[in-house]
Chain A
Amino acid sequence: MKPGTKLKSAVCDTEVMVIKGINIVVECGGKPMSDAPPAERSELDSAFAEGTKMGKRYVNADGSVELLCIKAGKGSLSIGGTALQIKDSKPLPSSD
């Protein structure tokens, strides 16, 4: 994976686009995501079932990985079993 790559969940409808991060395996619902659609859907791991929100950006603790959720789903995102967090954003007044 590289910036711009779109990854699909193996367990739900979630789809993310990589904003930052190279060659890292991202999981959704506990299962690795892939740029190809899954042949068959796997079971959602209940420990990673909080869901994803469209338009939210997800980051790991050190900020080296950033993903944009472009399709929401039931699974939640993690890397190596550690959950990703929604990136805090301070909405700015519209300037254009």
Chain B
Amino acid sequence: MNISLLLQMSAEAEPDRIALVCSGRRWSYDALWRAAQGAASFISQSGCQFVALLDESSEGTPIALFGAALAGIPYVPLNYRLADEDLSALLKRIAPACTIGDVTRVQRLDPEGNHTRFTRAEFVAAAEAAGGSFAEQEQLDGIAAQIFTSGTTSAPKAALLKHANLLSYILGTVEFASARPEEASLVCVPPYHIAGIAALLSSIYSMRKILLLPAFDPDSWLLLASEERATNAFLVPTMLSRIIARLDEGADADLSTLQAIAYGGGPMPAVVIERAMQLFPACGFTNAYGLTETSSTIALLGPDDHRAAYASDDPAVRARLGSVGRPLPTIELEIRDEDGRRLPAGQRGEIYVRGEQVSGEYRERKALDSDGWFPTRDAGWLDEDGFLFLAGRADDVIVRGGENISPGEIEDVLLAHPSIADAAAVAVPSTEWGEAVGIAITLKPGCTVPSENELRLLIKDRLRSSRVPERITILDTLPYNEMGKLLRREIRRLFAS
């Protein structure tokens, strides 16, 4: 099995149809397929162990992804935002690699690595020049992609995604060539993120034209969406929030063709999604939840679910706007307690998943249990109708005197305060309770600072006394990574220091 089949089928079905628009250049399925075969021919002769991309998104991304697949060599998209020291460590773990993108940085950070180095332009030109047909190579270990996790606690783990995992996800969720000719998906997630890979694979298999934005900023996004008449888009919550802010400021854009917005990658503030639904009433919204280790999406809240929740007076149904929907029919999902026992609806525990798209495997170790279940380390619960609610990372739970406290419930209360712009609740050391609640907040411009007493009373009234923060700090901004994930460890560190 090989993911290159997805591009091959599209290229055979409609060779001249446009597959990709990037930086003003248009690529047909056939042109991409020939370039991928060209790349495979020199990748397979380079003697490299990995094909590493250290670059923003471009036509080089799908060519490297499918070229590596054809050559039978794992594709490793690297995070170009990493600090030198961290990136250097990753380069050493994949040497010798065929590296594409920032070659001067590769050479500077790992001069002994014996890496083959191509700038993006060199790589694309060589792939096009080599062209022709290339026979798919036998996979030794069947690994299509190796993606380094962000590794906030220790060295990043190398998550392994097999061709079979990725193909199972695509074949199970995407109908071949199902996109109408006018459909175009604006892809702006970074290439080193699983959502970036999934977006390429699913768009190519459905034959939905990809509008690739090399790096996100709201104005370039609005311009590309308007000019190329985007019908679909995937965004992380911070991106959607920044786009809405620009539109509310009166930015000029024609988004009349936009039919579907999918989002994921982090919690979506209720105010953002509700404003988005007002701004784009004709648009279908889909919230996707997934992990690198699960080949992307494992649960989703579709457009109908969004509308039903938004329109409902029933608080339980309305609350689903804050859920990640129901698990995909192709996977199994359970909530388990600390002893691994399955929990009933309404009870919070750790999310476990099983299915063919679930890899759960790292270069260092296999994380699946003996029955094939993968512990996600995400905490959550299911409602009576099977809607999944996330409740932070299992490691983020605050354990106060044996009572488990989800940071999310405290944050929701704080965010409803008129002066508070953003809030995070974390565990702080407590001599009395082991752990207690610490909160960090940021204020809206021009608002008066709420007193500590006011905040404590608010939480006590809305929740209960065990949730009342022992420590309160006011910050200018909360720390987020580029995918919009709150870096709780940094806040914990702040309280510890």
Contacts and interface: CB of A to CB of B under 8 A. Distances in A.
Given A93-B286, A95-B173, 13 more contacts: A17-B5, A19-B1, A19-B171, A54-B9, A56-B176, A89-B172, A91-B178, A92-B302, A93-B260, A94-B185, A94-B202, A94-B262, A95-B300
Contacts of A89: 172, 175
B9 A92 contact: no
Interface in B152-190: 164, 167, 171-178, 185
A93 to B, nearest CB: 4
Best-surrounded residue of A70, A89, A96 (most CB of chain B within 10 A): A96
Nearest to B179: A94
Interface of B: 1-2, 5, 8-9, 12-13, 164, 167, 171-178, 185, 195, 198-199, 202, 206, 208, 232, 234, 260, 262, 264, 284, 286, 288, 290, 296-297, 300, 302-303, 328-329
A63 interface: no
A71 B11 CA distance: 12
Interface range on chain A: under 10, 10 to 19, 20 to 34, or 35 or more? 10 to 19
Contacts of A93: 260, 262, 284, 286, 300, 302-303
B5 A95 contact: no
A37 interface: no
The 5 closest A-B pairs by CB, nearest first: A55-B176, A95-B288, A4-B1, A96-B198, A93-B302
Contacts of B173: 92, 95
Contact of B199 (A3, A55, A96): A96
A68 interface: yes
Nearest to B286: A93
Is chain B's binding surface mostly helix, strand, loop or mixed? mixed
A96 B234 contact: yes
A65 B410 CA distance: 50
B328 A92 contact: yes
Given A3-B164, A71-B12, A94 B175 contact: no
Is chain A's binding surface mostly helix, strand, loop or mixed? loop
Given A54-B176, A93-B303, A96-B296, A70 B260 contact: no
A82 to B, nearest CB: 23
Interface in A45-90: 54-57, 68, 70-71, 89-90
Contact of B171 (A3, A57, A91, A95): A57
B195 A96 contact: yes
Contacts of B175: 55, 89, 91
A47 B164 CA distance: 34
Contacts of A94: 174, 185, 202, 206, 208, 232, 260, 262, 286
Nearest to B200: A96
A54 B205 CA distance: 12
12 contacts: A19-B1, A70-B8, A92-B328, A93-B286, A93-B303, A94-B174, A94-B185, A94-B232, A95-B264, A95-B290, A96-B199, A96-B202
Contacts of A90: 329
B1 A17 contact: yes
B292 to A, nearest CB: 13
A57 B302 CA distance: 24
Contacts of B172: 89
Interface string A1-21: 001100000000000010100
B177 A96 contact: no
B262 A95 contact: yes
